[in-house]
Amino acid sequence: MSEGKSVFWGVRRLSVIFLFLLLSLPAVGQTIRVEVEETPLRDALLSVRDQAGVDIVFSEALVLDRNTTCTYEGSSVEDALACVLRPATLEAQRVRRRQYVVVRASVADGAGTARRWTLRGFVIDRETGEALPGAHIYLSELRIGAVTNNAGYFALSSLPPGDYAVQASFLGYTTGERRIAETPLPVIVPLVPVALEGGGIVVEDERADYAVGAASPGLLRESVRRLERLPSFPGESDLFQALQRFPGIRKAGELHGGMLIRGASPDQNLYMLDGAPVYHPWHAFSLISIFQTETFKDIKLYRGSFPVEYGGRISSVLDAQMKDGSQQEPGVFMAVSPLSGRMVIESPVTANSSFMAAARRSYLDKIIGREHPVENADGRRDTLRTGYHFYDASAKYTHRFGSADRLSISYYRGGDELDLRLPFDLSLDFSSWLRPADLFFEVAQEWRNQLVSARYQHLFSERLFATGTAYLSTYRARESTLLRPTISAVMQSDYRVDLRDAGMKLDIEYFQSVSHRIKVGLQAGVRDFSSSLDAVIRRSAGTVDRHAQENEAAEPELAVYAQDVWQLNERWIIHPGVRLNVFGAEFRTDVSPSLALEHVMDPRRLRLRAGVGRTMQYLHRLRDRYAFTYDLVTSRWIPASEDIAPSSGYQGSMGLESRPLRGLTLHGDMYWRYVTDVLLPEDEFRNKNELVGPGIDVGELLGQYVRGEARAYGVELSAVADRGPWSVRLNYAGGRSLTRSEALGETSFRPSRYDVPRSFGALVAREIGKWRVTSILEARSGYPTTVPVAQYAIGDPLDETTRYLYRPFLNNGRLPPYFRMDIAAERSFRVLGAFWLARLHLYNVTNRRNVTARQYLPSEQGMEVQNRRGLPILPLFEIRMQL
């Protein structure tokens, strides 16, 4: 209860800050006095501006050599401007709150209002014709701007008549600038990608990017082309590993494990692919992700407070949009790494349609083989199996029915398959594996994601844009096991987990004016959960146990939301929003408000972003901590219900962004998060020691967990410098991630499993002709570990004594600090009309084998410590070809 009160007061304090900032805006209604005679028009306008505290935009050519005569006293800005401008046959039109633009006097329409027009259109890639979502549009004369939506569309409504200089920019593209005359038709603004084939690092013109923002604190948006060039393990480009170059983001383990963002657990992240959720975004036991960087055109990562159009998770949202495919000419990309080979094909189909298709497969099983016939000295034969591979296949087809309609259909399927038959008594001597054995085990496992989504976008009018999305996403995990630990004992089991998520979304955007961009939406879906276990255990010839269980659940979810991007003036943006969630057959209702703001303190140097919000998560991911009948596929999603409360998260963040010099960007963020109703293990040290365990029923699974709460807070600092052939990224994160549970008798918070108080990362790259050399450094605090404070023995004097460890406090110790340095060198060249890139990556060049886990064992001599260490130095490679 005390923690809830502290959160309440924290939200209240931030709300007061927001209110204070709003009230600090210039006051309205002060007296304006104008008394001029044959005075230069420019001086009179500046006098009105200074007295009223408003922004008056005018062209120097329009007021040059013009004088005015006017006498006025009052509080109306419009009347004062009319008095000053009337002798010059000019007028002032209000663009947005406290901003006016001077134009030539126009004839009013029948309703007596001045004529206005809407500048609208699409920002596209000049080379491929791809729409560019998130591109920035800026009108320097009016000092107003907009951000394109997911279709690359923008609209600036209620503009005074005339033509305007328009700047357009997007990460990874050179800034475009052109003058656009008044037109009722949508305009096409093409941008040219930055060349990345060596010869120096190109720094984009940052004027438009810095002129207008999206008021989303914690939003991470980086050029896909730049992410592709960040070295990753095991040699190939991987989105999740590239994101680790930013502060507060890392993997749970050295190489494997889920993605941790600001200390939250991996299941609190929402992964979206073309509007459809992905429930298991990993391959190779979480070594790499399913997200092939080359297949995407836009990637957004929201950390902390995020827009209300996203829901269902409490930590972060990763929204990835696949390429539509080139509309200009066919293209082929191919690459090979030590782990897999992959390719991407994109091409126009007709003048109005295009497609993109991609595939990837690991090939280790093709090298070592899947089946191994073996024979011993006695002539006994057997066939052992060591099969494993993963694969991805994705495609997208886009058809444009004109400038107002577009249909896209996306498909993804990927998975892992493991097939083993090996001797039961394995050792580190790999030569002993391939031999006939009476005692053996067989394991067949599969993880699979599959999704299809269809998205239709329609432009009803120049101000009204609608997007409808329908999707079906499925996740399946299967584990079949056959164990023969003794001659007479056999255990055979088949375990399956299925999750099916079908839903639809309708989003409507209304570009009311340059001050307001309103978005409302409806989301509805149904998740089906099912799992089954069929096990036969023969303990001896006459003792056979059979276990068959099934568990099913279906939970509907409905959400409606509304949000507004409110640009008060060229320095202030407020982003209020609210989301209403209705979940389950009991129609549980929750409200998730959100408020974000952005203040441009200096248009060229400094801006502030802040936000607070509440989010809900109606899914928990748990694993069975008892049974051997299924071991690797032990985690599964379960929905909230009457017995399981959803997690509720309160988040706040505030950050500064500065660009003091060209090519240098500085970021500083601080954040806090408080989450209720998280599920924590009842016994952190529970080892699997039962064949069947309590079963797969949700109630039995929940018996292994207790309700708790979590909180996190910290700061993140980063510096990015691009100058000439050099590129430097530095980042630091300092923070805490804490949990507690009253059910465990905890009265104070303790470090969570993923608590890392300090971390530092650096990336330095230099272009040398066709060569690029990159060094990467990662250093952080070690993960928490529980150190026993004593050991004790229980036993009869006539029997063997059993020793136990006494661990009254969880996570009271910490592993040694983690340090690793990598070096990569790559060279680009052209052969036979194709662009090639060859990269050599040395992983862990210092050969420091970090301690990644620690186990404490009781012994007669005292407590024995066993360390598990990470990988030594490894040479990796990648070869790419692009046509």
The DSSP letter of residue 192 is P
pLDDT at 205 over 50: no
pLDDT of residue 690: 60
Q: What's the number of CA atoms in the CB half-sphere (13 Å) around residue 275?
A: 28
pLDDT of residue 426: 58
Q: Both 136 and 24 in a single domain?
A: no
Residue 217 lies in a domain: no
pLDDT at 361 over 70: yes
Residue 228 lies in a domain: no
Which one has a higher pLDDT value, 256 or 272? 272
Which one has a higher pLDDT value, 218 or 125? 125
Decide if 775 contacts 826 (C-beta within 8 A). Answer: no
d(C-alpha 366, C-alpha 374), whole Å: 18
Q: Both 681 and 558 in a single domain?
A: yes
pLDDT at 80 over 80: yes
Residue from 187, 389, 364, 356 nearest 285 by CA = 389
Residues 6+ apart with CB under 8 A from 834: 881, 882, 883
pLDDT of residue 19: 46
- As a whole number, mean pLDDT of residues 834-838 equals 93
pLDDT at 837 over 70: yes
Residue from 75, 105, 72 nearest 88 by CA = 105
Token look-up 């003792």 returns: 543
pLDDT of residue 146: 87
Q: What average pLDDT does the chain have?
A: 86
pLDDT of residue 564: 94
For every residue of 743-771, DSSP letters joined together read: GGT--S-EE-TT--SEEEEEEEEEEETTE
pLDDT of residue 198: 45
**Structure confidence at residue 8 as a pLDDT band (50, 70, 90):** very low
pLDDT at 685 over 60: yes
Q: Both 166 and 253 in a single domain?
A: no
pLDDT tens digit sequence for 804-816: 888 888 999 999 9
Question: Which of 110-114, 138-142, 148-152, 296-300 shows the lowest mean pLDDT across its residues?
Answer: 110-114
Q: How far is CA 512 from the centre of its chain?
A: 29
Question: Which of 206-210, 713-717, 820-824 shows the lowest mean pLDDT across its residues?
Answer: 206-210
**Structure confidence at residue 614 as a pLDDT band (50, 70, 90):** very high
Q: Both 196 and 254 in a single domain?
A: no
Residue 234 lies in a domain: no
Residues 6+ apart with CB under 8 A from 430: none
pTM, two decimal places: 0.88
Residue at a domain's end among 71, 104, 137? 104
**Structure confidence at residue 688 as a pLDDT band (50, 70, 90):** low
pLDDT tens digit sequence for 91-110: 888 877 778 888 877 655 44
Residue at a domain's end among 104, 138, 158? 104
Residue 863 lies in a domain: yes
Number of neighbouring beta carbons within 10 Å of residue 688? 15
- As a whole number, mean pLDDT of residues 712-724 equals 95
Token look-up 């209300």 returns: 308
Residues 6+ apart with CB under 8 A from 556: 524, 525, 526, 583, 584, 585
**Structure confidence at residue 625 as a pLDDT band (50, 70, 90):** low
The number of domains in the chain is: 3
d(C-alpha 786, C-alpha 808), whole Å: 9
d(C-alpha 689, C-alpha 766), whole Å: 53
**Structure confidence at residue 403 as a pLDDT band (50, 70, 90):** confident
Number of neighbouring beta carbons within 10 Å of residue 474? 17
pLDDT of residue 798: 65
What tokens appear for 240 in the block?
Answer: 């999740």
Q: Both 374 and 522 in a single domain?
A: yes
pLDDT at 258 over 90: no
pLDDT of residue 234: 81
Decide if 304 contacts 217 (C-beta within 8 A). Answer: yes
Q: What distance separates the 2 farthest-apart alpha carbons in the chain? A: 118
d(C-alpha 126, C-alpha 329), whole Å: 12
pLDDT of residue 141: 78
pLDDT at 233 over 90: no
pLDDT of residue 275: 94
At 600, the amino acid letter reads: V
Q: Both 711 and 609 in a single domain?
A: yes
Residue from 682, 739, 683, 677 nearest 705 by CA = 682
Q: Both 92 and 145 in a single domain?
A: no
pLDDT at 624 over 90: no
Question: Which of 334-338, 487-491, 565-569, 632-636 shows the lowest mean pLDDT across its residues?
Answer: 632-636
- Domain of 148: which CATH number? 2.60.40.1120
pLDDT of residue 867: 93
Give φ, ψ of 699 to 5 degrees: -60, -40
pLDDT of residue 385: 83
pLDDT at 17 over 60: no
Residues 6+ apart with CB under 8 A from 156: 118, 119, 120, 137, 139, 144, 145, 146, 511, 514
pLDDT at 27 over 70: no
Domain that holds residue 18: 2-104
- Order across the sheet with 99-104: list the strands: 55-57, 99-104, 90-96
Q: Both 194 and 263 in a single domain?
A: no
What tokens appear for 867 in the block?
Answer: 């360390």
% of the chain at pLDDT higher than 70: 89
Give φ, ψ of 365 to 5 degrees: -65, -25
Q: Both 459 and 535 in a single domain?
A: yes
- As a whole number, mean pLDDT of residues 33-50 equals 91
- As a whole number, mean pLDDT of residues 210-238 equals 77
- Do the bridges between strand 619-623 and strand 572-583 make them parallel or antiparallel, or are there none, so unpaired? unpaired
Decide if 149 contacts 214 (C-beta within 8 A). Answer: no
pLDDT of residue 693: 65
- Do the bridges between strand 802-806 and strand 790-794 make them parallel or antiparallel, or are there none, so unpaired? antiparallel
**Structure confidence at residue 427 as a pLDDT band (50, 70, 90):** low
pLDDT of residue 845: 96
pLDDT of residue 281: 94
pLDDT of residue 477: 93
**Structure confidence at residue 163 as a pLDDT band (50, 70, 90):** confident
- As a whole number, mean pLDDT of residues 362-379 equals 83
Q: Both 545 and 448 in a single domain?
A: yes
Residue from 346, 327, 461 nearest 404 by CA = 461
Residue 110 lies in a domain: no
d(C-alpha 809, C-alpha 805), whole Å: 12
Residue at a domain's end among 43, 74, 104? 104
- Domain of 10: which CATH number? 3.55.50.30
Strand partners, 575: 596
The DSSP letter of residue 863 is -
Decide if 301 contacts 316 (C-beta within 8 A). Answer: yes
- Do the bridges between strand 117-125 and strand 153-159 make them parallel or antiparallel, or are there none, so unpaired? antiparallel
Residue 763 lies in a domain: yes
Residue 109 lies in a domain: no
Decide if 747 contacts 728 (C-beta within 8 A). Answer: no
Q: Both 297 and 388 in a single domain?
A: yes
Q: Both 537 and 672 in a single domain?
A: yes
- As a whole number, mean pLDDT of residues 835-848 equals 95
First to last CA, the chain: 62
**R_g of the chain computed on alpha carbons:** 31
pLDDT tens digit sequence for 540-590: 777 888 888 898 999 999 999 999 999 887 788 999 999 999 998 889 999
